[in-house]
């Protein structure tokens, strides 16, 4: 076998190896959008402020994510529940951006507290604009798994307060 044929054969094998390597890479979903945050019961001493000093996390609280398109029409709505630490992770499954800037989650989506399971702490506060919808913050967080990628935005923290404060 001549040197020229050996070189050609080597290049062909190298190209085949590269092509085979490309087909074995894991197929990623498109980047998903998720929102995370915390929900608290604000202490009576801090009522009317944005302070969470002395606040307690609420397990089983519900928040809603509302996204509106650039025509101010609701194009996504879902309620999510907090875990035992008052933390929520809301993956926006089905959320569509028809306009890459105006329908971007930072402009289009808000988070509101909806429900507290605590009978002694179930009135809404306006902490982080929870009454009208807390805006999202971009904190450069990306969650990556074998077949999952999500851009994670933050909202809140959000809070409820007791009805009766002494």
Three-state DSSP class for residue 14: helix
Instruction: Say which residue the tokens 């062909």 belong to.
Output: 12
Residue 146 banded pLDDT, cuts 50, 70, 90 = confident
DSSP run (H or E) holding 111: strand 109-115
Average of pLDDT values for 90-108?
83
Question: What structural domains and CATH numbers belong to the chain?
Answer: 26-161 (2.60.40)
pTM: 0.77
How far is it, in rounded angstroms, from Cα 162 to Cα 30?
A: 42
Read off the pLDDT band of 56 (50, 70, 90). Answer: very high
Give the tens place of pLDDT for each residue, 15-26: 555 555 555 555
Does 9 have pLDDT greater than 60? no
């Amino acid at each position: 076998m001549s040197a020229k044929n050996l070189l050609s054969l080597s290049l062909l094998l190298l190209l085949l190896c590269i092509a085979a390597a490309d087909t074995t890479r894991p197929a990623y979903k498109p980047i998903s959008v998720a929102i995370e945050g915390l929900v608290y019961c604000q202490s009576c001493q801090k009522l009317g402020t944005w302070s969470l000093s002395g606040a307690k996390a609420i397990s089983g609280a519900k928040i809603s994510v509302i996204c509106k398109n650039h025509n101010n029409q609701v194009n996504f709505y879902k309620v999510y529940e907090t875990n035992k630490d008052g933390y929520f992770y809301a993956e926006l499954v089905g959320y569509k951006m028809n306009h890459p800037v105006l329908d971007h989650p930072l402009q289009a989506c808000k988070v509101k507290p909806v429900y507290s399971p605590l009978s002694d702490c179930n009135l809404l506060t306006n902490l982080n604009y929870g009454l009208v919808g807390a805006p999202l913050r971009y904190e450069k967080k990306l969650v990556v798994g074998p077949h999952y990628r999500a851009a994670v935005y933050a909202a809140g923290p959000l809070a409820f307060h007791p009805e009766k404060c002494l």
